[in-house]
A and B are shown apart, each in its own frame.
Chain A
Amino acid sequence: MTRREYRAQGIAGDERHKVHCNHRRTPVNGGTRVYVWQQKKGGVVSSSASNSRALLSVRDLQTHFEVGGHAVKAVDGVSFDVYEGKTLGIVGESGCGKTVLSRSIMGITTASNASTSGSVNYSGTELIGKSKRELRTFWGEEMAMVFQDPMTSLNPVVRIGRQLTEHLRAHKDLSRSDANDLAVQLLTWVRIPEPRERLNNYPHQMSGGMRQRVCIAIALACSPKLLFADEPTTALDVTVQHQILNLLSQQQQERQMGMVLVTHDLGVVATRTDDIAVMYAGKIVEKSSTSALFSEMRHPYTQSLFWSIPKTSEPKHTRLSAIVGRPPNLAALPPGCSFADRCPYVQPICREVEPKLRTIDSHSFACHLPVGSTEGEAALSANISVGLPQSEGAAARREAGQGILT
């Protein structure tokens, strides 16, 4: 586009630079001089009706760490959307890349050997490639994060009050007393008794649950539109976990925030999310609405994960269907499907061809032999009849007459 055309569209000079960085020109109409703006990565982020509500669009996000000449693919081509007022759950075992994923989106992967590519589009702004200084205007006011460990995410030698008001004063240009008043209000929101007295406390004077509430208050302080909660309750007791999750969903509904809830616990996401993405070895292997995921699991990993959880509804000494082996080394992933070695449904094709994420009725899964399909059932029966070790759990369940969701 020429300078004149830019001016005609009212795009200012420095804006123009940004546009150039984020977009490329594609000629249409057989090479005539008509251009349309297109996103860098794929055509997925077109202006479809559903996309207009998407607060965050992540496309083909990759975060690789360079370790000893190998690329550790912690996040390897992840795409999803988060909508206003909705919660997306990201579930996976440790080492599957779920924490790196949320940190990459926020732009806070600090390791010098990390490289991030792909597209993170936050309400129309591309975040990948932005400098820390530019990202700082997004942190707090647009997106915020609650971390896993409330013991270490607060500064132990700074009073709660200052930790709460620090970024309020930076972002909102408030006076000290106004910021303190707002901090008291925030602590009231997160149900901390005697909030004004608490401002003078140090973190060690509070319990783990209280500290996590303070972390939530800090995250909510500048009214973000998108909240990442990375294992917010893993370090807490069951009863406190329940309170914190209730508090998060109440605040989310009141503020109509988009929320990404990262956890390893299928129980936590079951009742508190609208959509769930299951991650394994840096990739999303299954993604759907929460109700559809639990009523009709399609990926063998999701099913195996569900089977391996003990449930209070089952009688004591119920034999658990454990997943054999352990997650693969992210620096040396096998060809084909990374779950193949642990999968009860595995067939030769799984070790050769990597399954692509496909979508049927807005339920996405990456599997050649999905659960519930005729080919999947045939593969499982074949594996059970030859006595494949990873199909033992499924065989036992089949013998006991247990269904997919018992």
Chain B
Amino acid sequence: MAGSGTAHLRDGDDMVIRVEDLTVEFPAKGGNVVHAVSGIRFDVRRGETLGRVRDSGCVKSTTGKAILQLPHPTSGSVQLDGEELTELSRTEMTARRTDIQMIFQDPISSLNPRRTIGKIVAEPLDVWGPKASDEQWALVASILDAVGIDPESAKYKRPHEYSGGQCQRISIARALVMEPKVIICDEPVSALDVSVQAQILNMLEDLKAKYGLTLVFIAHDLAVVKNISDRVAVMYLGKMCEISDSDDLYAKPAHPYTQLLIDSHPEPNPEAVINEAVVLGGEIPSPIFPPSGCRFRTRCEFADEQCANEEPKMAKISDEHYVACHHPLTEVGK
């Protein structure tokens, strides 16, 4: 992992998002630099769901925000429908953000507790949509209805009167009201109970079909990502490891990090085999001083000199399945 290369990028006019060489760095103490995102490339086809998996500290949230130019990436290019976002001025970018909306991890803190649900969902319309309040309300009511919140009772209620799952539905309604092309979902279900999580995942699938959305879905739970995604990208320490059709990725993981994630995922099956050997060595290196070559090599059982000296490039394994590794598991014979 921890690789670069362009082999996995697809051609075609139907790519909604195309990210190339995206780099985000933050200044750190002592003149050092936090390498949050280091030259990643990916594309998302119209109507597709791209899932991104990672451990915390592998900065997947930064990638999501960098697409929205929040903050402005250090270098690289982000294209939305062929339009370069990194070159837009601040006001132009504000206008373009109506096409890309975001759903955040914590549904309760992402809604203003002092405003009513009607106002919260209508706020984007105050800026970009119809200004007449009856027109606004008609739109808001139809969206609230679509996410399973009763519009009449919600109009004058405030966020504390709703549960976490309902607040997440309201956040989704707020994102949908601008009729965006792309929604970036940053861990939208990790704060919810499993029974509510299933409701939200089903609803996202329904809304995606109904409004023709393209989703970028960021999560740490492998099963959730597999369930909702068409294509899954695995990231480690700000670099891409592997990108593939989601069924293929779970059936034949090629990157040792993907294998580690799959082995670590607790399946609700009492006969599942536990890899007892995994007790130590789980620390993610600091993104201030990432390892040379392949960034995963400090935790990889197949690492050798080549991995330390040379950064692996994205290489094709099969159709729609690319991996950045010098010793992919498909070759080691595993």
Residues of A within 8 A of B (CB): 93-94, 191, 193, 207-210, 237-243, 245-247, 250, 264-268, 270-272, 290-291, 294-295, 304-306, 308-324, 326
Quick one: given A238-B55, A311-B223, A320-B227, are A270 and B194 in contact (CB under 8 Å)?
A: no
7 A-B pairs in the complex with CB atoms less than 8 angstroms apart = A239-B260, A239-B264, A247-B279, A308-B198, A309-B268, A310-B224, A317-B228
User: What 11 additional pairs, Cβ within 8 angstroms, besides A207-B283, A242-B266?
Assistant: A241-B266, A246-B278, A266-B268, A268-B266, A270-B269, A311-B267, A312-B226, A317-B205, A320-B227, A323-B199, A326-B195
Does B280 count as interface, using CB distance less than 8 angstroms? Answer: yes
Please encode chain B, from 188 to 203, with 1 for each CB lying within 8 Å of some chain A CB and 0 for all others: 0000011111110110
10 cross-chain pairs, A with B, having the tightest CB-CB distances, nearest first: A267-B266, A322-B198, A242-B264, A323-B195, A308-B198, A310-B227, A320-B198, A266-B268, A237-B55, A322-B199
Q: Which residues of B contact A239 (CB under 8 A)?
A: 55, 260-261, 264, 278, 282
Please encode chain B, from 95 to 137, with 1 for each CB lying within 8 Å of some chain A CB and 0 for all others: 0000000000000000000000000000000000000000000
Q: Once the chains are docked, how many angstroms separate the CA of A399 from the CA of B80?
A: 41
Instruction: Contact check, B270 vs A309: say whether CB atoms are below 8 A apart.
Output: no
Q: Which residues of A contact B268 (CB under 8 A)?
A: 266-267, 270, 294, 306, 309, 311
Does B327 count as interface, using CB distance less than 8 angstroms? Answer: no
Instruction: Contact check, B278 vs A326: say whether CB atoms are below 8 A apart.
Output: no
Q: Which residues of A contact B230 (CB under 8 A)?
A: 316-317
Please encode chain B, from 163 to 201, with 1 for each CB lying within 8 Å of some chain A CB and 0 for all others: 101000000000000000000000000000111111101
Quick one: given A304-B195, A308-B194, are A313 and B278 in contact (CB under 8 Å)?
A: no
Q: Once the chains are docked, how many angstroms separate the CA of A108 from the CA of B283?
A: 33
Instruction: Contact check, A290 vs B270: say whether CB atoms are below 8 A apart.
Output: yes
Residues of B within 8 A of A (CB): 55-56, 163, 165, 193-199, 201-202, 205, 220-224, 226-230, 246-247, 250, 260-270, 272, 274-276, 278-280, 282-284
Q: Once the chains are docked, how many angstroms separate the CA of A238 from the CA of B272?
A: 16
Instruction: Contact check, A312 vs B265: say whether CB atoms are below 8 A apart.
Output: yes
Q: Once the chains are docked, how many angstroms separate the CA of A257 from the CA of B172?
A: 46
The 8 Å CB contact of A313, one of B55, B263, B267, B270, is B267
Q: Once the chains are docked, how many angstroms separate the CA of A265 from the CA of B278?
A: 20
Q: Which residues of B contact A266 (CB under 8 A)?
A: 194, 268
Q: Once the chains are docked, how many angstroms separate the CA of A314 from the CA of B222?
A: 12
Nearest Cβ in chain B — how far from A92, in angstroms?
9
Q: Once the chains are docked, how many angstroms separate the CA of A82 from the CA of B272?
A: 24
Instruction: Contact check, B274 vs A246: say whether CB atoms are below 8 A apart.
Output: yes
Q: Which residues of B contact A207 (CB under 8 A)?
A: 283-284
Q: Which residues of A contact B263 (CB under 8 A)?
A: 242
Nearest Cβ in chain B — how far from A29, in angstroms?
49
The 8 Å CB contact of A316, one of B199, B220, B246, B260, is B246
Q: Which residues of B contact A246 (CB under 8 A)?
A: 274, 276, 278-279
List the B residue with the shortest CB-CB distance to A314.
B227
List the A residue with the shortest CB-CB distance to B230.
A316
Instruction: Contact check, A241 vs B264: say whether CB atoms are below 8 A apart.
Output: yes
Q: Which residues of B contact A316 (CB under 8 A)?
A: 226-230, 246-247
Q: Which residues of B contact A309 (CB under 8 A)?
A: 194, 198, 223, 268
Q: Once the chains are docked, how many angstroms separate the CA of A321 from the CA of B268?
A: 15
Instruction: Contact check, A270 vs B261: say whether CB atoms are below 8 A apart.
Output: no
Instruction: Contact check, A238 vs B265: say whether CB atoms are below 8 A apart.
Output: yes
Instruction: Contact check, A310 vs B201: say whether CB atoms are below 8 A apart.
Output: yes
The 8 Å CB contact of A318, one of B195, B227, B262, B267, is B227
Q: Which residues of A contact B247 (CB under 8 A)?
A: 315-316
Nearest Cβ in chain B — how far from A314, in angstroms?
7
Q: Once the chains are docked, how many angstroms separate the CA of A81 from the CA of B61?
A: 44
Q: Which residues of B contact A324 (CB under 8 A)?
A: 199
Quick one: given A237-B220, A316-B229, are A271 and B270 in contact (CB under 8 Å)?
A: yes
Nearest Cβ in chain B — how far from A246, in angstroms?
5
Quick one: given A239-B261, A308-B194, A311-B267, are A322 and B202 in contact (CB under 8 Å)?
A: yes
The 8 Å CB contact of A312, one of B205, B267, B280, is B267
Instruction: Contact check, A237 vs B56: say whether CB atoms are below 8 A apart.
Output: yes
Instruction: Contact check, B262 vs A312: say whether CB atoms are below 8 A apart.
Output: yes
Q: Which residues of B contact A318 (CB under 8 A)?
A: 227
